[in-house]
Amino acid sequence: LQKILILLQVTLSVVVGKTLMILFPNAMKRYILKMGEKSRMNQNPKFSYENWGPTFFSFKYLKFVLKVKWKRLEDEAYEGHPAPNTPVVTLGGEVRHLLDFMEDKRPLILNFGSCT
């Protein structure tokens, strides 16, 4: 049920966003650039709006947002319940789970840095 609600919410936002991009391209460009300021994307001279701006509210954007939001449903933790066995990627690019590191008795270092 949660996945269906997320699908409806994200689809509606993509349809509205795409419609606004068609009807008001300059206003949407300003809005998207304003959103880019929060992540400092605009400060990189090699990262021009023409390269990434039009990808907002596309089908690929819809699929990516759905994938991220659905994945987050699996990672919810509640007080008094076991923690989720979240998948992580090692420095070597291997996908493992948190409990794998507990079994190995090796130190686990988590980096919650920026993904941009």
- State the helix-helix crossing angle for 25-38 and 2-23, rounded to 10 degrees: 130
End-to-end CA distance of the chain: 31
Identify whether the C-beta of residue 17 lies closer than 8 Å to the C-beta of residue 54.
no
Higher pLDDT, 77 or 13: 13
* Model pLDDT, residue 8: 93
Q: What is the pTM of this model?
A: 0.56
Residue-level pLDDT at 98: 77
Other CB atoms within 10 A of residue 97 CB:
13
User: pLDDT by residue (tens digit) across 80-116?
Assistant: 877 777 777 777 888 888 777 777 666 666 666 655 4
- Three-state DSSP class for 55? helix
